[in-house]
Every structure is written in C-alpha cells, then in structure tokens.
Structure 1
Amino acid sequence: MTEPDSSRIALGARLAELRAEAGMNGRDFAARLGWQASKVSRLQSGQQKPSPDDLKQWATAAGRDDVLGELLARLRGLESQPQQWRRQLAAGHAPVQDRYVVEYRRTATARGYETSVIPGLFQTADYARHLLMQNASLMRSPRDTEAAVQSRMRRQEVLYEPGKLFRVLIWEAALYAHVGTVETMTGQLDRLVGLIGMSTVELGIVPLRAAMPLTPKHGFWIFDEQRVIVETINTELQYDAADDLALYLRVWDQLAAASVTALQAQRLIGRVRASLGAI
C-alpha cells in the first residue's frame, strides 16, 4: 500500500469515528447530508478523497465544527504527498520540462531559491544538457536530452514577457558547483551577469560569508504566493496551505535580506568566474 492510500484511509477512519460519535449509521448520516449513502461509504473507506467542502459539511453534520481545522490539515497532508520523479520521468525529461513551461507561463510573479544549481530558468543550453544527462543516468530514465533542453530553453521565453517578475536567490556555493567543462561554466556565469538589470528579473546572490539569519536550507519556488514547489532527489513536493506559504515566504525574505544584488552580485559572479582556471 502506498503512503497516499494509507493516509486517505486514516482520514476516512477519522470521519467514520466522528459519524459514530454522533450516534448515526452511514445511511442516516448520508440523509442528513443530502448525499448518496455510497459517497459516505467511499469517504469512510478511503476510496474517495474528500474536498474541503465535504469535510466542512461532515463536521457540521456530526455536530463537531470544532474539528474542521484538524480535518483540513489531514487533507493538506494528502495533497502534499510527494510526486516521485521515477514516475514523472517514465517517458523522459521532455514531458516534465513541458509541464514547467506551462507553469511559468501562467505565473506572474515567482520567487525562487537554489542552493546547489543554477535555476533552469537561467541555464544555458550547454549547462542544462550536462545536468539532464546526469539526471537521466541517475534516475535510469529515457535519454531524450535534446528534446528536454529545447523545452527548458522555451521556458526561458517568459523572461521577456511584460508583466512577469522572477525574484531569484542563488546561494554562492551553487556558482562553484562545476557542471560540464570550464567553457560550460564560463558561459553559464556570463549568462547570469547578463540577466542583471532585466526588468523581469531580480537576481540576488547569498554570499558564503554572509551573516545569515538561518542556515541555507533547501531550494524552493513560490508561484504567485499561491503554491510552493520543493524538489528533492527522488520527489517533487507541492504545498498550497496558507501556513506553509507564510513559512516559505518568511524564509525567502530572510535569505533575500542576506543577499547581494546589482553591481555587488556582478562582482561576486566575476570573482567566481576568475577562479575557474583553478578548478
């Protein structure tokens, strides 16, 4: 049994408990709700995932409006279950990149933070190619590298669309992570410098020696302050609960306060570029 199934079953058991505490059988409870008895049965068994409105009606029907917050928190737990990369990459990297193209096109403002890699939105084709080849080897997924690179480059078209804003922070360590050849890294760092000053981009570098209010943490992206996406080695996590959004926004703001921008960022990137010959 997968984790999402077990979590849904646990939520269903909690719903059944509330119904039983109200002293009603499933048929009578369904009648009170104005639902089909089969829906009550599916929700209690975990065969169907409830909507937030379903949970609100359930709590009210059970006379337990006080537990609605708990039920909604359980539902958020279901919705934030990881999407395994192994499954997403079954058809290769290009479909995943295509999905990101759609994600960025429908986003007006994005805040990003990366700790170990230059964001895909800012990558050169050569840098992206090396990363995608590495990942295909690691995940043992189909090697559709060139199609995936082309899709990743299409994603970058949003950088030139009016009304967009991409506020991106990169931990300085990511600039030193050697991907491909020296020429690959030189081109990539030059690309970053070229982004500074664009009307749609706010690039900040968090220096290694910055007095940070918290540890570097993991990378994450916040889209229109409505959802957060976190990528790990084997999964992608998505959150849209208000408390999760507030937490990630606080983290981003604190990291931004420790970052350097504009000319300072350009100089820092220049120092990293000058050190490439010593790698």
Structure 2
Amino acid sequence: MSTSPNSAARKVQEALGLRLRNLRKDAGLTGRELAAATGWHFTRVSKLEHGVQPPTDRDIRTWCEVCGVEDQAADLIAQARAIESMYVEFRRRSRSGVKHLMLAFQDAYDRAEQFRIYEHNVIPGLFQTADYIRAMLNFWMRFLDADNDIDDAIAARLERQQIIYESRRRFTVVLEENALRTWFGTAETMAGQLDRLLTVMTLPNIALGIVPMMIERQAVGSAGFWMFDDKLVTLETTTASIEVSQPQEIALYARMFDMLRQSAVYGRDARAIIINVQNELTSGN
C-alpha cells in the first residue's frame, strides 16, 4: 500500500472536518448559528468543516461545548494532533543514513509493555538476524539514495532487540505465511532467519502465530502494523511511516488484530509451517 503522504494527510484532515460538521448538524445548528455562538466568522466554520483549515485544541473544545458534546473533545483533539505529525517521510530522515530509521519511535518502545505486531511480507525487526537486516537495508539504501551507514544501522536494530528478553514486556505477533517466503538475501540468509524465528518462539513472553496460506479466514490485513499498548499504532508505506494516536482509530486496529489473530495457528502447528518452509529452502524447491 503506497499513498502520497500529503494527499493522505489531507484525507484525514477532511475526515476530521466531517466529524465536526456532523456534530453541528446533530446539535441542530446551521453554520451561521454555530459561528454566532462562537464569535467566529461563518467562513471559518466552513473551512474547518471542509478540512481547509486545521482546528486548534481551543477550537475543538469551543465547538464541542456549543454542540453540547464536551465528552468528545479529547478524542477529536487527539485526531487533530496526529494529523500534522502522522507522516514521517523516510527520505528526509535517511539523508544522513538509515540508522535513524532503525531508531524510529524509540519513546514508544521504551514505554510500551504490550506489543501487538502484524506483518504480511517481512519478519518483524525485533526478530531479524544481522544478515537479514543487511539484505533488507541494502535495498532501502539504494531506493532512498541514503548514505551508507549499514553497520551502524544493523547495530542499532540488534540493540533494540534486547527488549524481547525483558519479562515485563509481552509480544503478541501474527505473521502471514508469505512473510516466511519473502526473501531478503540468499536462501542461507532466509534459512538462518527462520531458525531465529523458531528460537524466539520459545520465549515465555512471546506468542507468535502464523496465518497459513490458502485458508478461509475472517479478515485480510492491507498492511503490516504495530500496536504499542493502546497508545500508538505505527505502519509503513513505501515512502513514509504513519503514526496513529486517535483512540477510535486505535480501537479499530485492535479489532482488526484480533480478527487476524483468530486465523493464525500457534505452537506446534506454527513451528511446522516454519520448518516446512525451511525444508523447501534447503531442498532447493
């Protein structure tokens, strides 16, 4: 899934404006009546409702107070705050190398105790081997025309992986079988990566499920995403990472994760899928 950060952010801004307009209509107010109640010019109401002008926190609180829905102010403010910062362009951040990409969302990693991870075509970074990371970053450095700091980037990602050994953290991971079959590097690199996956599955704080290919299922994820407690969701497009902090949006991601998780197999069945892919690699199929 690849979306222009600017056009996608505009769509989110328009969605916020639509929510404001619906609140006004539900309160039985016209645009001019709301403007009169707030002391704004009526054109400002129109700009806010059409996503042309972003609202301030004060604007939202005033809007909700006039419409009699003060309880919705916090959720709307969270959505508004997320719009400006939700898209972090990879190319801008990688101008001095890709190490910075490996250190993204460090505060979220430091604070979170429950991680929910869904990936459809890549092994999660917390479980990647050095060879797998190197093969993956070689592509992204070329694609983003970034400086070559690959050794530092690998070291940064491996250092971050230490959190999986902290007992207070819990990791619930759902991988599509396709993630096991999407190569980064050689067959030997992939075989080593699958070995690593089998190892981390034994950790008591990790629940790793595999969604088998060609099965009837409840849901299909359009992109991989990570949930940090119930505070933040991150996902990546081709050019940017996206941060979602609006409570209602996070709740939808949680619902999607639960549906995807129900299609996965765990324990012995998950290990059997991984070992089967390993055998295909070693047999040359």
Could you say which TM-score interval applies, normalised by the shorter chain?
Answer: 0.7 to 0.9
Alignment match, 1:133: 138
Relative to structure 2, which stretch is displaced further, 169-178 or 2-11? 2-11
TM-score by length of 2: 0.78
Q: In structure 2, which of residues 126, 133, 142 is the aligned counterpart of residue 121 of structure 1?
A: 126
1:188 to partner: Cα distance: 0.3
Q: In structure 2, which of residues 134, 154, 176 is the aligned counterpart of residue 171 of structure 1?
A: 176
Relative to structure 2, which stretch is displaced further, 210-219 or 132-141? 210-219
Greater RCO, 1 or 2 (C-alpha within 8 Å, sep 6+): 2
Q: In structure 2, which of residues 213, 218, 226 is the aligned counterpart of residue 221 of structure 1?
A: 226
The runs of 4+ residues in structure 1 deviating greater than 6 Å are: 5-11
Q: Aligned pair count? A: 259
Which runs of no fewer than 5 residues in structure 2 stay unpaired? Answer: 1-5, 22-29
Give the Cα separation in 1 of the matches to 2:185 and 2:12.
42
User: Which amino acid counterpart does residue 143 of structure 2 have in structure 1?
Assistant: L
Alignment match, 1:37: none
User: Which amino acid counterpart does residue 187 of structure 2 have in structure 1?
Assistant: V
Which runs of no fewer than 5 residues in structure 1 stay unpaired? Answer: 31-39
CA contact (8 A) 1:101 1:151 kept: no
CA contact (8 A) 1:100 1:155 kept: no
Q: In structure 1, which of residues 251, 254, 257 is the aligned counterpart of residue 259 of structure 2?
A: 254
RMSD: 3.4
User: Which amino acid counterpart does residue 68 of structure 2 have in structure 1?
Assistant: D
Give the Cα separation in 2 of the matches to 1:238 and 1:252.
16
Question: Any residues of structure 2 matched to 1:45-64 within 5 Å, and which?
Answer: 50-51=56-57, 53-60=58-65, 63-64=66-67
CA contact (8 A) 1:127 1:188 kept: yes
1:210 to partner: Cα distance: 2.8
CA contact (8 A) 1:197 1:262 kept: no
User: Which amino acid counterpart does residue 117 of structure 1 have in structure 2?
Assistant: V
After superposition, the Cα gap between the structure-2 partners of 1:243 and 1:80, relative to the gap in structure 1 and judged at 3 Å, is: farther
Give the Cα separation in 1 of the matches to 2:268 and 2:278.
15
After superposition, the Cα gap between the structure-2 partners of 1:90 and 1:19, relative to the gap in structure 1 and judged at 3 Å, is: farther
Give the Cα separation in 2 of the matches to 1:257 and 1:68.
33
Is 2:189 the counterpart of 1:184?
yes
Alignment match, 2:3: none
SS of alignment partner, residue 169 of structure 1: strand
The superposition leaves residues 183-239 of structure 1 with CA deviations (integer Å, 9 ceiling, x where unpaired) of 111110000000112022111111113321122421111110221111111121111
